[in-house]
Each structure stands twice: as structure tokens, then as C-alpha cells.
Amino acid sequence: MTCERPAILYMHGLNSSPQSQKARQLMQAMERLGASDRLRVPALHHHPRQAIAQLEAGIAELGRPLLVGSSLGGYYATHLAERHGLKALLINPAVTPHRRFDGYLGPQTNLYTGEVWQLTDDHVAALAELEVAPPEDAERYQVWLQTGDETLDYRHAADFYRGCALRIQAGGDHGFQGFAERLPALLAFAGFDPACLAELDFSDS
């Protein structure tokens, strides 16, 4: 069977990296599909303006990818989906993060690379520049939330994206437990033929 190979652009969260569990699981799934060249998982710069420039380059390279964003990456994905009319799948996304950094300015450490950087007022201002209204074209979005998210209150995202396809799961955590088992749904939303996914086992991704 010859399967179409849609493109995906994955956006990790604050102080995360392409080495995060979800990113690695998605990379493994795309490799099994023979579609590694259709996936980009950039190591995003900590400053929003530079991160958006990286993501714009990814979109230009891939054409019209599905945007997949986790946490702060979900905020970036929403901005870019609205700017370019793209589909987006958001995983425990941050909503208006620029309003939630009180008391957090100062040194930050990337959990994967060990890089230490300074969260400044300019970072917050740059995030504010990316704010958009709640999506009107709800069919372009899927929003996956777990109520046990210890970092973000899932209710903020449930309210902001209330017109979209919401998948709210009890329990879980900010990293989104059970992501590997839901990869077929993500890949189908990206445009892969479900028949091409049926014989692949994602449970051990």
C-alpha cells in the first residue's frame, strides 16, 4: 500500500527540547511510517521571537504541516495556525502565558540541555505580541487536555478552545500520560490514511 506522507511540525514547551518523551515518541512513529523526512522537531530558542522565526522556517520548508504543540508550544502553534490557516493539535497548551509569569522572572534552566538563561520582561512582551482570539475555525483544531496537569490549569484551555474538538481526560499530568497510545489519532488528524496505521504498534513507542 502506498500511503500519502503528510508533514508535521512539533513544538516543545518551555525549558524542554526535542529529547522530551513526546517528541521522541513522535519521531519514532514517523520513522516507522517511513516519513521521518516529513517531520521537524526544532530545538526552540528560549526567546519567543527567535522561536517563532525557527517555526516559520519549518513551515516554509514543509509546506502546510500539521502543527503539534505542547504547553508553550501549544501557544506558539495557535498563533501560527491562525496566521497561516493551518491545522493544529495542542497538548495541555498554555493560554496567555505572558499573564502567568509573575514571580518567575530571572534565571531558568532547560531540563534537558542544562542551559541557564534569563527570563526577562522582553520575553513576556514578546509572548504578548503572539496573543490571538479564540479560534473561529474550530475544525482545524484538536485540543488534548488532562485534568491532572500540575503545571497549567486545564480549565483555562478548555474555556479558550471551547469551540474546538476538546479531548479532556481525567488524571494524567503536564507531560500527558498515554501519549504513545494516542499517536494514531494524531497521525490520522495530520492526514495519514488510517489503513496505513492499522498494522503499526505504537504502544511501545
pLDDT by residue (tens digit) across 95-106?
999 988 776 899
pLDDT of 152-186, one tens digit each?
A: 999 999 999 999 999 999 999 999 999 999 999 99
Give the rounded distance of the alpha carbon of 71 from its chain centre. Answer: 7
The pTM of this model reads 0.95
State the average pLDDT over residues 50-70: 97
CA distance 1 to 7: 19
Residue 152 and residue 94 in contact, taking contact as beta carbons nearer than 8 Å: yes
Residue type, 82: E
- DSSP-assigned beta bridge partners for residue 88: 67, 141
C-alpha cell at 193: 490514511
Structural domains of the chain in order of their starting residue, each with its CATH number: 8-197 (3.40.50.1820)
Number of other CB atoms surrounding residue 129 within 10 Å: 11
